[in-house]
A and B are shown apart, each in its own frame.
Chain A
Amino acid sequence: MATAYKIQKDTYHDSVTLMLIANDLKQLDRIEEAMVGMGTDYNLDSLKRLKINLPELNKLTPSDLIIAVKGETEDVAEQAVEMAENKLTEQTQISSNQGDYAPPTQRGAASILPGANLVLISIPGEYAADEADKALEANRHVMLFSDNVSLEEELRLKNKAVERELLMMGPDCGTSIINGVPLAFANAIRRGPIGLVAASGTGLQECSSLIHQLGGGISQAIGVGGRDLSEKIAGKMTIQAAQALGKDPQTELITLISKPPDEAVLDRLFKELKKLDKPVVIYFIGADPELIEKNGFTAATDLEDAAIKSCQKAGIGKLTPLIAQKTLEEYARKAGPIKGYLRGLYSGGTLCDEAQRILIKDLQPIFSNTPVEGCQQLEDPYLSQAHTIIDLGEDEFTRGRAHPMIDPTLRKERLIQEMSDPEVGLILLDLVLGYGAHPDMASELQEAIIEGRKQLPKPPAVAVSICGTEEDPQDYQQQRKILEKSDVYVFPSHVSMVKFTQLCLNED
C-alpha cells in the first residue's frame, strides 16, 4: 500500500465540495482511503485514524488544503491526487465566472453588485455570525444556512435585524423562496397568494411542493431557523416575517409551520398573529390542534393537510389528499401485512419527526436518533433496533461528510445493511428534489435497492415519498419512474406514505 499527498498552503475550499471529491476518489479502483479537506483538528485526526502519515502534519493550519490518498501502488495514489486537483481547479473556475475576479469580502462583492439586497451564508459556523453581522450592518437581508451558531449570537443578530427591519433567516436555515427566487435547498414553486413562514427546512419544502401539486402557489416562503420559537429567541423572525406578509398585497393568507413553540412564546405569537387582517393556517408538528382553533386560527394535522387547508383558504386547487384513502387501502392490500420491523432512513428531519409522531400510535416501541415524545433514544445511531426511524441529516452522521440530500453514500450503505436484516419488513425513505439537492438521487437509491435485494431470499419492501415539483431541476417524473421500475412503493407526499404504512400494519 502506498500513500500520495499534496498540500496547498492558504487555499480555502468549502467542506462540502471537498467531501464530495474525497467520495469520488474512494470509489476509484485500487484506492483504499482518501481524505480531501482543510487542515482542521478534525481532519488531522481523521488522517491519523486512517493511518495516513504525512511528514508535515504539525505545520498545517486550517487554511491549508490537504489531499491525501492511500492506494495499491504509488502510481495509483498519485493519479488520484491529480484527479482531485483537477476537480478543484474546475470548481474554482466556476466560482470565478463573474469575470476573472472573485472578491475576498462582502464589501468587494457589493462593489461588483451594488444592488445586492441579500447575503446567503454557508461558511463554517464559527465564522458565520461575523459575516451575518456585516451583512445586516450594510442593510442587507441574510439567509444563514450555516449551523453551529450559538443561541446568544442568533439573538444578537435577530435583534439587529428587527431594529433594521431586515430578514435574518437562520442560523441553520436550509430553505427560503423570496420573490420567487429559491435559496439553498428549495423547490420550484408556482407563485400565488399563500405566504409561508417555517422554522423547519424540509417542512417548508414538503408543504410548498404540495401546495404546487394541489394547484396553488406561494407569495413567499420564509425560513426562520429551527430555534426561532424557542424561549430565548421568542419568535422574533417568525413575527417579523408574518407581519411583513400581513402588509404584502400579494399575500392573501399566512401559513405557519414549526415544532410546538415554547409556551411563553406562544401567547405573544398568537397575539401578534391576531393583529394581522389575514387568515392564518398553523401546523405545529405534534401539537394539540384545539389550542390553535380556539384562538381563531385554522389548525392543520400534518404537512399535506397544511397544504390542503392553505389552498382551500385561498380558494384555489383541489381539496383532497393527492392519494385518496381508497387508493391507499388498495396499495396496502396489495403489499399485504407487514411482517417484521419498520426502518425509516430519512434525509429530512421534519419528515423523520412526522413519521414518528404518526406511527407511534400503532407501533411501539419506536427508536430514533431524534426521538419525539413517546419514542425512545437509539443507543447506537449506526445500529437499528426493533422499529427504528432515523434522521441521517443529524450531526452524528454529517460530521466529516456532506448532508444526505447531497451525498447518498451513507444512506445507501445503511439501506443495504437494513435490507440484509431478516427481521425487517418495510423500509421508508424520503427523496427530496429541488435546488441544492442531488441531481439524480433516485438512481442512487435504486442502485442500493438492487444490491440490498441480493442479500436475502425474501427481502423487505421499500417505500419512498418524493418531495418536489415537476418544475424542479431534476425530472420529477423520471425520478418517480426509476423508483417504480425498482418495485418500490412511491408516494407524492410523505403523509400518504406514512398512512400506507399504518394500513399495512392494520392488515395484520
Chain B
Amino acid sequence: MSDLNGLFEQKIQVINLGLPAFYKDLQHQEIPVVQVDWNPPARGNKKLQSLLGKLKK
C-alpha cells in the first residue's frame, strides 16, 4: 500500500506552470514556489511539434 513516497511528512514545494495567480497565492502564503516562463513548444507550430515528438521517441 502506497504512502506516496512519504509526501504527507514533507514540506510542500511547488513548480507552477501556467496561471500566475496560483503562483502568487502560494508565494503570499510563503510556500516555496517557482514560476516557469512556459511557452508552447515549437512556437505553437503543430507540424513542427509533431516532428519534435517523433524525434523524442
Contact = CB atoms under 8 A, between A and B. Distances in A.
B22 to A, nearest CB: 6
Contacts of B37: 95-96, 102-104
B22 A109 contact: no
Contacts of B21: 16, 406, 436
B19 A14 contact: yes
B6 to A, nearest CB: 9
B32 to A, nearest CB: 6
A492 interface: no
Interface residues of A, number: 70
B32 A115 contact: yes
A394 to B, nearest CB: 19
Counting chain B residues whose Cβ lies within 8 A of the other chain, the interface size class is 35 or more
A98 B39 contact: no
B15 A119 contact: yes
B15 A17 contact: no
A436 B44 CA distance: 27
A18 to B, nearest CB: 11
B26 to A, nearest CB: 7
Given A95-B37, A97-B27, A109-B36, A141 B17 contact: no
Given A116-B34, A123-B38, A181-B12, 15 more contacts: A96-B37, A104-B38, A115-B32, A116-B14, A116-B15, A121-B18, A145-B22, A166-B4, A179-B12, A181-B29, A182-B25, A219-B8, A243-B1, A244-B4, A436-B22
27 contacts: A12-B39, A61-B43, A62-B44, A95-B35, A104-B36, A109-B35, A109-B36, A117-B13, A119-B14, A119-B16, A120-B17, A124-B40, A139-B5, A145-B22, A165-B4, A166-B4, A166-B5, A181-B12, A181-B26, A181-B31, A182-B29, A183-B14, A183-B22, A240-B2, A240-B4, A244-B3, A248-B3
Interface of A: 10, 12, 14, 16-17, 38-40, 61-63, 91, 94-98, 102-106, 108-110, 112-113, 115-124, 127, 130-131, 135, 139-141, 145-146, 162, 164-167, 178-179, 181-184, 219-220, 240, 243-244, 246-248, 250, 406, 435-436, 473
Q: Which are the 9 A-B pairs with shortest beta-carbon distances?
A: A62-B44, A122-B18, A102-B37, A63-B43, A109-B34, A165-B2, A12-B39, A63-B44, A109-B15
